[in-house]
Structure 1
């Protein structure tokens, strides 16, 4: 798991590089092509993780979209360098922010992480951090420690719960994550080695702290709305401090960032092509503070405005607070005016006009919906409304 922990605030900016980053640059502990050592517990862990990987390969949550997988795999392989052949990368359908690595080289990337990265550089920052945990043997040490602490069950059981348990009770999730937590020293090593991997593969090292700042802004938005914290907050209470330390360390060695951040074309294009799929699960979380923060960021970074406005409509429609029906309808109409609205924008506008008693405009948008979606599953229902 990504080992950042969050505190409520940072009182004063640290003027000197933090002691956590004053150590020498850590090196890889294992070479490419690493195999488990002839130790009973390591062999046993390997077998457990192999069973877990088989379950991942058969999981309905596994994303098979080649466009998404090819983009993620290209970033992973570029960061991994000569370790590229050691990794199997699985993109999993989950709206949370997470990436993880097993001692066997199995990496998971959640779709929620893709929605929260503005560039390939930011994705590379997360990937580099996880690869560093792997090559420093942190993942092996963590799973070995977790196995000793567990009264019953296995690493396989815990991994499945974390994969599918994004909505599990906070206490239960926190207890599971505490078994798999990295130490502060391990996190600092992964930060430094991860940045080294990024810079060696020509990614922008400044993205490594930028991605955490964005995630903290989302957590703050969720806190204002009194919503349940995400996996990030549950397991990582001091991310503000870590982000500041990392920024100071990077600027001292690589200089300041460019004055203006510009998302790279490849990552932005991938998000645009798959935005409807990627945002669907986020909307269904009903965590409106998070969703609003994400949509605001997506609009600013250049996601197709008609798509973003459609999901504003979805958010307001599902939230259902006073005035939200009008907000939703306005968002759908703006999406349609943009010229690239999903077919569902016409249908939902039709329903809202019907609910408001405007049958003529309801009919207009229902007809346009069927024109854009002639094989719609709900065609019979829409035709029923039109006949009325």
Structure 2
């Protein structure tokens, strides 16, 4: 669920005062195609707020407007959502985190960090199906109704605050801004009733499992591999383990960076069990490879930008893990070796610079190596105090790209190296 942060306090006030807002009955909880919220209901209030967030997303500088990418992803969403597709609007956001969300009014975001981590279209379809299941099953309203029945309106308000706060964070213009919104929201939750948090998170795990199963079902009915969910969730667990940061490695993986729902092994097992019950069998290695190659064709034009964005997260262990997975079929080796080298260069610990040299050199043996590879290699040689190699690499860059805008900086660097002075070329890659 997504909601604008500047409108959060008004909704919180209404809920904390215990204002009676009608909520649909439990037996009517599943949304129907084209369904609108009841007048003066909690859902209608949330819809009003999410419309404001949707307008912000529509004009956001982070929105990806590439027509081919948007059409490709909207096609996947339409297949998964079936008769509900007319209720949904999709916005692709250039954000380097694994995240997708679908608000109760059909406003849907998919972040490019998800697209970078998925290896097949089936995996993207599963995540969209998972979010669609939250939408179709009305999980946000069900969470409110569940706690309200067992506690009180003030406690139930914490449910809405927590869900809304996560959505506000996801819709923030930057990671730091999102983190600030999350901190604000946590303060509001604490002020209402700390004791309700345990009940909320327990129910959240239930709804996440429900979304896994329903999401896998709708994706399977749309012709996608029902085992794809297990693959993408397992990928996230493995990526978490590859982090440079111990705190991240020790924490359970999350469905999205602002989520409160741990991704546990038993959830993966449940997806696989459900696939078996549907009579499906895992794809053969050859079929899975073909799916990866087909998906890569669709995302190849954006791969360099997404890898650049991922490096900005500054968790180079995770970026290297992603690149390793992207390399499994020996595709795009010039590009992938270049960005592996960049990750090692930027981290710069232990023998990282030596590893960076190896990857830059490997990248240069492929035609798709970025134009800046020789320049970046020269910079690493300089840092390793290998002056002759640095001069060679810088010179090669200038020879191949004499009209590059940064040639004058590289020439200054070469002059400094020849004179024995210390100077540095600004890192204009990131």
Which TM-score tier does this pair reach, normalised by the shorter chain? 0.7 to 0.9
Residue 69 (structure 2) pairs with residue 68 (structure 1):
yes
**C-alpha distance in structure 2 between counterparts of 1:295 and 1:385, whole Å:** 30
Asked if 2 retains the 8 angstrom alpha-carbon contact of 1:225 and 1:289, the reply is no
94-103 vs 251-260, greater mean Cα deviation: 251-260
Whether 2:231 is the aligned partner of 1:210: answer: yes
Structure 1 residue 348, shift from structure 2 partner: 0.3
Match of 1:149 among 157, 163, 178: 157
**Secondary structure of the structure 2 residue equivalent to 1:274:** helix
- Alpha-carbon distance, 1:91 to partner: 1.3
1:275 Cα offset (Å): 0.9
**2:216 equivalent in structure 1:** 195
The 1:121/1:342 distance shift into structure 2, 3 A limit, reads same
Structure 1's 62 and 373: CA in aligned 2 closer, same or farther, altered over 3 A?
farther
SS at 1:343's partner residue? coil
The 1:37–1:315 alpha-carbon spacing in structure 2 relative to 1, beyond 3 Å, is same
Distance across 2 between alignment mates of 1:287 and 1:371:
34
| Residues 156 and 378 of structure 1, relative CA distance in 2, 3 Å threshold | farther
* Deviation for aligned residue 1:171: 8.3
CA RMSD in angstroms comes to 3.5
Which one scores higher on RCO, CA 8 angstroms, separation ≥ 6? 1
Which structure has the bigger radius of gyration?
2
CA distance in 2: counterparts of 1:71 and 1:373, whole angstroms: 35
Number of residue pairs matched by the alignment: 364
In the other structure, the counterpart of 1:44 is: 45
Whole-angstrom distance in 2 between the partners of 1:206 and 1:157: 31
Cα gap change, 1:224 to 1:159, in 2 (>3 Å): closer
Question: What is the match of residue 21 of structure 2?
Answer: none
1:236 Cα deviation from its structure 2 partner = 2.5
Residue of structure 1 equivalent to 2:171: 163
Classify 1:143/1:52 alpha carbon distance in 2 versus 1 (closer, same or farther; 3 Å).
Answer: farther
Alignment of 1:1-388 (within 5 A): 29-141=30-142, 149=157, 159-164=167-172, 166=175, 168=179, 172=183, 175=186, 183-222=204-243, 225-227=246-248, 231-232=254-255, 235-260=260-285, 261-262=288-289, 263-370=291-398, 376-386=404-414
Per the alignment, do residues 83 and 153 of structure 1 end up closer, same or farther by CA in structure 2, a change over 3 Å counting?
Answer: closer
Cα distance in 2, alignment partners of residues 316 and 283 from structure 1:
10
Q: Given the superposition, is the C-alpha separation of residues 252 and 174 from structure 1 closer, same or farther in structure 2, using an over 3 Å criterion?
A: farther
Counterparts of 1:382 and 1:171, CA distance in 2: 43
- Paired with 2:28 and 2:324, the residues of 1 have a C-alpha distance of 39
What is the distance in 2 between the residues matched to 1:212 and 1:155?
21
Any conservation in 2 of the 1:49–1:156 contact (CA below 8 Å)?
Answer: no
Note the alpha carbon deviations across 1:30-86, whole angstroms, 9 max, x for none: 232222222343322111101111111122221222332222112111111222221
> Is contact 2:162–2:186 with CA below 8 Å preserved after alignment?
no
TM-score (norm 1): 0.81
Gaps of 5+ in 1: 2-25
- Separation in 1, partners of 2:234, 2:227: 11
Structure 2 CA distance for aligned equivalents of residues 64 and 147 of structure 1: 41
| Aligned counterparts of 1:46 and 1:169: Cα–Cα separation in 2 | 23
Q: CA deviation at 1:166?
A: 4.0
1:51–1:156 contact (8 Å) kept in structure 2: no
The TM-score, its normalising length taken from structure 2, stands at 0.74
Unaligned runs of 5+ in 2: 2-26, 148-153, 190-196, 417-430
Distance 2:215 2:344 in 1: 39
Structure-1 separation of matches of 2:412 and 2:119 = 43
Relative distance call for 1:208 and 1:52 in structure 2 (3 A) is: same
